Copies of this chain bind each other. A is one copy, B any other.
Amino acid sequence: MPDTAEIEPPTPLTGYEDRCLQTDEGRAIRDLMDRVGDKWSLLIISTLRAGTLRFSELQRHIPGVSQRMLTLTLKHLARDGLVSRTVHPEVPPRVEYSLTPTGRTLIDPAEALAAWAVAHLPAIKAARAEFDAAAG
């Protein structure tokens, strides 16, 4: 590596940082949001973090989710290898869902995000209320 490459530019944000987020984090964040950035994915993953649940149990634990969206989101998560789907051939049928090892690795960052939300959402709502009061 030439020594010129080691010199840190004094201006931190003027012209060299076009690759700052785009190649690595930028694409990663976008891909991530494309997969678990929807309305129910993180909720399902968080709900499954304590163990296996069957379809109707999941639906009960996540109020407001429709059968359709639960089915769709679970299918996407299974397709991405984050959730495993096990069908027990019985009558009535029983289908159980649980996190895969890969899915389990998402728990920590997801809970970090949830913790942030719990801690800072009051401030956000206050800021929003103040903003709306000021702007009419």
Contacts and interface: CB of A to CB of B under 8 A. Distances in A.
Nearest to A39: B33
Q: 3 shortest A-B CB distances, which residue pairs?
A: A81-B127, A28-B117, A32-B117
A124 B37 CA distance: 15
A94 interface: no
Copies of this chain present:
2
A43 B130 CA distance: 25
B61 A21 contact: yes
Residue among A24, A57, A109 with the highest chain B CB neighbour number at 10 A: A109
Given A21-B46, A42-B29, A46-B29, A124 B105 contact: no
Given A13-B50, A21-B43, 7 more contacts: A22-B61, A22-B62, A22-B63, A26-B63, A29-B117, A33-B39, A110-B113
Contacts of A39: 30, 33, 37
A68 interface: no
Interface residues on A, range: 35 or more
Interface string A84-113: 000000000000000000100110111111
A131 B124 CA distance: 40
A123 B60 contact: no
